[in-house]
């Protein structure tokens, strides 16, 4: 097991930033809209896995239940049918790869905005599959120490077919094949994970010097400030 988790640190930092909460709620509402439409208009989260996953992510950032329900109701009423999710690719400082997940109703506008931020901050936009091959799309699930002990975590890891597990002072972060996302409830039983999410994990994480790390942190902050961008994955170690 690893002694720390960059993924978990980033998640906690984002969730604790109160000033950005409204901004994050707006982004999450778009993801809920997409989940409803891609699920054929099904608003029952037990019958729409993507919606269930998105609701769980919304709860993690403390999005109020009534705000979640309003987003579901609007989507069920036909609002936001033109919104789609797109993964844009780019490079940051030191040649680090970036996958930039966005929800948009105008892909040309979003592409131009992302390109502008990248170029103004020392990065550059990349063509399709120029960066994606550096990552593995997978599922990630987080359990706290009061939910399970190390032996339980290892047993869950084996059952889900996980390829990596990280441990920090708060709990266990388990990475597993994307295709197994729908098996979480079945395998976890009565234990409710702190979070379940889709993740893009670097196949060979790049080592960065402190200067490039700081520059890339600033670049990512500026990308995350864009209305359409809801997540960024980096190949940096």
Other CB atoms within 10 A of residue 49 CB? 16
The CATH label, of 3.30.70.980, 3.40.50.150, 1.20.210.10, 1.10.3720.10, for the domain at 134-202 is 3.30.70.980
CATH 3.30.70.980 maps onto the chain at 84-131+206-234, 134-202
Q: How far apart are the first and last CA of the chain?
A: 16
> What pLDDT shows up at residue 14?
52
Q: How far apart are CA 197 and CA 82, in angstroms?
A: 24
Structure tokens at 4: 């720390």
Coil vs helix vs strand at 185: helix
Q: How far apart are CA 122 and CA 33, in angstroms?
A: 33
CATH fold group of domain 6-76: Arc Repressor Mutant, subunit A (1.10.10)
What is the CATH class of 84-131+206-234? alpha beta
CATH 1.10.10.200 maps onto the chain at 6-76
Residue 153 pLDDT > 60? yes
Other CB atoms within 10 A of residue 2 CB? 11
Which tens digit of pLDDT belongs to each residue from 131-152?
999 999 999 999 999 989 999 9
């Amino acid at each position: 097991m690893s002694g720390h988790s960059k993924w978990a640190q980033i998640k906690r930092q984002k969730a604790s930033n109160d000033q950005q909460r409204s901004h994050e709620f707006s982004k999450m509402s778009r993801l809920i809209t997409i989940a409803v439409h891609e699920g054929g208009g099904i608003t029952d989260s037990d019958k729409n896995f993507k919606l269930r996953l998105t609701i769980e992510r919304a709860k993690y950032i403390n999005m109020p239940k009534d705000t979640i329900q309003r987003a579901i109701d609007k989507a069920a009423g036909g609002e936001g049918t033109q919104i789609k999710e797109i993964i844009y690719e780019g490079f940051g400082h030191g040649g680090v790869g970036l996958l930039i997940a966005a929800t948009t109703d105008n892909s040309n506008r979003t592409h131009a905005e992302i390109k502008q931020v990248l170029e103004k901050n020392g990065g550059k936009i990349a063509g399709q599959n120029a960066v994606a091959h550096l990552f593995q799309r997978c599922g990630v699930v987080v359990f706290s120490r009061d939910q399970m002990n190390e032996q339980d975590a290892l047993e869950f890891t084996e059952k889900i077919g996980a390829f990596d597990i990280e441990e920090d002072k708060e709990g266990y972060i388990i990475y597993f094949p994307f295709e197994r996302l729908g098996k979480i409830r079945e395998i976890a039983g009565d234990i409710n994970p702190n979070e379940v999410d889709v993740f893009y994990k670097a196949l060979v994480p790049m080592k960065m010097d402190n200067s490039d790390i700081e520059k890339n942190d600033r670049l990512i902050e500026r990308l995350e400030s864009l209305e359409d961008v809801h997540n960024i994955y980096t190949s940096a170690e």
